[in-house]
A and B are shown apart, each in its own frame.
Chain A
């Protein structure tokens, strides 16, 4: 059993020996597909630039080209990046050079933390106050529209800050009942009750705790989707965008050094416009430079060149939600919900335009390198037509766009539509950038510390316990392999500098179990027991001590992992794994060796 466990540990730690290939990764933006045609053109570009490469891989969402060295990597990025254009992202990557047979059993190398590989870490906070503000404004608008629609007369509807509710002032007791009844039926997730503290006829509408939680979650999830989208544009090989706690988002961009650019892109604002396609305009004339004054020409849209009216039918901030699904024929569609104001605008607008085509324009403001007189960066407005569809009938608050292409494209469109209605702004509350040289230095320093510490302990144990020391040393080496194997096996476990410190500490403390056992054996020998008995008793009586000592330390490590953040977590995980593996190697492992060497024989003195 010991041999098998060790073999598995060694197998899974093996990928770490193979190192990494410098690679170029190509992925598509906004639904641009990755296929063998793209691959062929990439390969052709490389051939033309006379850059040799080891291997090219094509998966559903990316192309990976492994290159011979990092000089070629930079050259290749330039060559490919220039030719592919804006719809593809070309990123530098380090692809693990794990052999296929190891890859097949799921063995992957250790993931390194940002402090070891260099990169940027952002912690962003979603402005929940703003999210709630927007929800209240939304409530006011919706209630007004609906009560009017139901012909329930009210004096005012406005937010009551102190009561954290929307106050509806009505005119009579009957109206209160009717309104309360109506609102309760119409809206889920709110409590509607009469305000008895005033002499007026006032209703208060409050959000339930669940509803508030839903708004919070929505605000965070929405920001995460948008950030993911933008991070893809940055061309980062393995970005991490993850929720942390109630209202925070962690963004980790390995390998990115230019934080200023990263922040610009992450902080870019995006909006959407709905505009009519100019059906009277002459497209071919416009393409030749004669654009009608009321319209604007978009040459490189996804649907080919289109001529759109300048007049905006509806702006994207009215969009509450957009999701992708399938229609009754199994074709992908995008469902859009508008707020009440947007709904009536849309309804009025589409009434007269049934049969006409409507386009969705995605607008992003990005910072450029140019500065204005005040030293502020000029913003570049980037407009893109992301969808053109025919208006089938009068549209209301909820409508759908069909015929937008594949399911992936519908999904993307929904994402972009939602981006137009970012309900809560975010801000960076923590930022850590580690330069590439520092990352490499940290790895070197960590490795040196592990090796030096390991060497010192090996020598000490050998001198102090002689042959038994040798046994302990074998166990210690096995332990190191096991730690790395287990760390590689756990998905999501990353090795950080404090993590290396944890490994070093484990090396020092792992021998403790053997020290306990060996000291016991010595004591037993002193009490004039036979060597065999001494070994047996030594292991037996030391066991409960070792277990107790390790379990308590393990408790401490687990708490560290649960409560701590960042460096503490990295340290805790290696410590916890180290304790578990050291228990195994130091007790079971050494016992197996000891039994194999000294077991079943008559021995007169032990080398201990």
Chain B
């Protein structure tokens, strides 16, 4: 069985101007969304408190909100989490209300008490408190992790292949990251540490794809006698297309499994990765390769450097 039985080379690169415009559009859209809508940062990055409570029967959100009001948390968000019996309550950090951190530490316990008083079937599922300073630190650390990863990859690919490929693949990675985070911004899905891990995994996945494609391009540059750069890249992409599709399918399959049965906490993670796999597959074909092509990759760049024989350029001494 075969997904695609391709006899002819697909002319991937012929539409590269169109796809480049499409990618740019997505990136600009994502950046615009960052600027206007921002990112719905999770508790990990903003600091604050969070309580997940489950009740025996469908929870009365109004009643919980009034309890929260009484406790003095007017800006607390109360919403269902996963099912109608589970409720997630979020509170901003208490830094400006003239209260010390000691107060905010006890918030979780205090609210849990009031909720049990309201309905004794209320059971605590999780309480989280992140201090504001820790939040901003985690954000810095996350950004740093992403940058370090990208730079190290850039260096490795440049060493192993050629700088044009390195620039191409790292651009593809940046492209994937920006658009995946952009999706979270547009849809307003919460962005927490787990999602950050997923975005970093997208880097890993997309890179995997890009390397496989670049590897084949390099091989074909050395092997194929005729054809210009564009044709060789098209051939390589066509040859690897089946593999690209199969791997994307298997990965997507497990991610769908995670999304369906992995539970509420892992949903953001699975969403980010699933989207990332799609965008990563696309970018390894259209972003990485077309940037390498645009930068003028050619046969000569990939030829093993011929060691010049010493004195070869000199005339022989003896006639």
Contacts and interface: CB of A to CB of B under 8 A. Distances in A.
A7 interface: no
B263 A509 contact: no
Nearest to B255: A508
Given A555-B156, A563-B141, A257 B148 contact: no
B138 A442 contact: no
Contacts of A544: 215
A433 B127 contact: yes
Interface residues on B, range: 35 or more
B194 A460 contact: no
A123 B101 CA distance: 13
A435 interface: yes
Given A463-B1, A560-B200, A549 B105 contact: no
Interface string B110-130: 000000000000011111111
Given A464-B1, A509-B205, A568-B200, A452 B126 contact: no
A40 interface: no
A428 B197 contact: no
Most buried by A among B160, B198, B258: B258
B263 to A, nearest CB: 3
Contacts of B3: 464
B167 to A, nearest CB: 15
Contact of A430 (B129, B216, B243, B265): B129
A408 interface: no
Given A123-B134, A437-B123, A556-B207, A566 B243 contact: no
Contacts of A438: 52, 125-126
Nearest to A556: B204
A449 interface: yes
Contacts of B124: 257, 433, 435
A559 B1 CA distance: 39
Interface in B1-23: 1-3
Interface stretch (A163-171, A334-342, A498-506): A498-506
A442 B265 contact: yes
A552 B109 contact: no
Nearest to A546: B212
A115 B149 CA distance: 27
A176 interface: no
B266 A501 contact: yes
Given A434-B126, A568-B197, A568-B200, A448 B1 contact: no
B134 A430 contact: yes
Contacts, number: 236
B102 interface: yes
A555 B152 CA distance: 8
A464 B141 contact: no
Interface string B257-269: 1101111011001
B148 to A, nearest CB: 5
Contacts of A545: 211-212, 215-216
Contacts of A572: 197
B151 to A, nearest CB: 9
A498 B269 CA distance: 8
B243 A515 contact: yes
B298 interface: no
A445 B258 CA distance: 8
Contacts of B257: 449, 452-453, 456, 504
A457 B201 contact: no
A165 B242 CA distance: 70
A553 interface: yes
Contact of A564 (B131, B141, B207, B256): B141
A115 B269 CA distance: 15
Instruction: Output the residue of A259, A449, A466 with the most chain B CB within 10 A.
Output: A449
A603 to B, nearest CB: 19
A224 to B, nearest CB: 19
Interface in B186-207: 193-194, 196-198, 200-201, 203-205, 207
B108 A555 contact: no
A555 B200 CA distance: 11
A431 B108 contact: yes
Contact of B193 (A460, A511, A566): A566
A453 B156 CA distance: 32
A557 interface: yes
Interface stretch (B67-75, B246-254, B287-295, B310-318): B246-254
Interface string A535-576: 000000100110011111101110110011111100110010
B62 interface: no
Interface SS of chain A: helix
Given A504-B258, A549-B208, A431 B127 contact: yes
A446 B124 CA distance: 21
B157 interface: yes
B54 interface: yes
B153 interface: yes
Given A446-B262, A504-B258, A523-B239, A427 B102 contact: yes
Contacts of B203: 556
A292 to B, nearest CB: 41
B36 interface: no
Given A431-B105, A552-B157, A575 B211 contact: no
B31 to A, nearest CB: 24
A146 interface: no
Contact of B156 (A507, A551, A565): A551
Contact of B109 (A259, A466, A563): A259
B150 to A, nearest CB: 9
B239 A511 contact: no
Contact of A453 (B126, B197, B242, B254): B254
Nearest to A433: B127
Given A438-B125, A508-B251, A545-B212, A452 B266 contact: no
A22 B106 CA distance: 31
A457 B265 contact: no
Contacts of B270: 501
B127 A559 contact: no
A557 B204 CA distance: 8
A260 interface: yes
Q: Which of A115, A454, A507, A565 has the most CB of B within 10 A?
A: A565
A263 interface: yes
B218 to A, nearest CB: 10
Contact of A565 (B105, B138, B205, B260): B138
Interface in B136-152: 138, 141-142, 144-145, 148-149, 152
Contacts of B59: none
18 contacts: A123-B134, A260-B106, A433-B108, A445-B261, A448-B261, A449-B260, A452-B260, A460-B253, A501-B197, A509-B251, A544-B215, A555-B156, A556-B152, A559-B148, A560-B197, A564-B141, A564-B142, A565-B141
Task: List 3 A-B pairs, minimum CB-CB distance, nearest first.
Answer: A453-B254, A445-B263, A453-B257
Interface of B: 1-3, 52, 54, 101-102, 105-106, 108-109, 123-131, 133-134, 138, 141-142, 144-145, 148-149, 152-153, 156-157, 160, 193-194, 196-198, 200-201, 203-205, 207-208, 211-212, 215-216, 219, 239-240, 242-243, 246-247, 249-258, 260-263, 265-266, 269-270, 273
Given A437-B54, A549-B207, A564-B142, 12 more contacts: A263-B105, A430-B129, A438-B126, A448-B262, A449-B258, A464-B246, A497-B265, A501-B269, A541-B219, A552-B157, A571-B197, A575-B201
